[in-house]
Amino acid sequence: MKNKFLINTVIVIGILILIFLVIPRSKRSPGWDWMPDMRYSKAYETYQSADFFYGENDTMTARLPVAGTIPRGYIPNDSNIKCNESLLRSFLLKNEHSGYNQDSAYYLKQAEMIAVLRNPYKSEEVLDRGKEIYKVNCQVCHGEKGEGNGYIVEREDGSDGPYGARPPAYATRLPQMTDGNIFYSITYGKGSMGGYASMVSPSDRWKVICYIKDLAGIKEGAPAPAAASTDSTKVAMVK
């Protein structure tokens, strides 16, 4: 009995010694992986190249949304929005434009908005909200009264501010533009102005339009300018 116990003990000690001998002594070595499927996740990380995207220009696993898609809940559950074509279309236009690039597709999309979109709000109902949004996002460039003399364009003493691109005064520019044209410019940008689609909701963009038209002295019900003509490559527009 003693001999059997001694033999088993020697075998166990020998196995332990063998294990300690083969284990890497470097502290930088991760050692053996007894359960590699738990140590190394097979899930794709957010910012890594994925083999099934090889051959494309972008192999990142984090993908942009498909053009034209909208997030769940992006359109408010409001019958006044869903039953108003212009306001509903304003929400559905999210992600339709791939970026600020004034090519033929840009002008054709703008022409479509000019033809379809009309401001769903009456000015007197939303001027206070429009003014609030304007002061936060627009006044810095366009000025308090929409004269293109915001404080980064023109200093109080009349000298030039740090921003060199002076926007046109609303009173001279807006009478040449339809509601859809203005909405498109705010959404995707125009000239030196970037787009505000990610910062101002479609409803608030329409309210800002009411306010800036009020600053320009454009009365409710004034006839809209004629839509610009189009060809297969570009929409002719008043710059």
Give the CATH number, domain containing residue 109: 1.10.760.10
How far apart CA 142 and CA 130 sit, in angstroms, is: 14
Q: Does residue 67 sit within a domain?
A: no
Q: Does residue 165 sit within a domain?
A: yes
Q: Does residue 149 sit within a domain?
A: yes
Tokens of 11: 């075998």
Q: Does residue 164 sit within a domain?
A: yes
Burial of 140 (0-12, 13-18, 19+ CB in 10 A): middle
Residues 165, 191: contact at Cβ < 8 Å? yes
How far apart CA 230 and CA 232 sit, in angstroms, is: 7
Residues 102, 232: contact at Cβ < 8 Å? no
Q: Does residue 27 sit within a domain?
A: no
Q: How many domains does the chain have?
A: 1
pLDDT score for 122:
83
Tokens of 47: 């910012």
How far apart CA 185 and CA 232 sit, in angstroms, is: 21
Range of the domain at 181: 102-215
- pLDDT tens for the chain, 239 residues: list them: 667 778 888 888 988 887 776 666 666 766 667 777 777 777 777 888 777 776 667 778 887 777 667 888 888 888 888 888 888 888 877 655 554 455 666 677 777 777 778 888 888 889 999 999 999 999 999 999 999 989 888 887 778 878 778 899 999 999 988 888 899 889 888 888 888 988 999 999 999 999 999 999 988 766 666 654 433 333 333 33
How far apart CA 136 and CA 158 sit, in angstroms, is: 22
Q: Does residue 127 sit within a domain?
A: yes
pLDDT score for 226:
60
Tokens of 206: 């329409």
Burial of 18 (0-12, 13-18, 19+ CB in 10 A): exposed
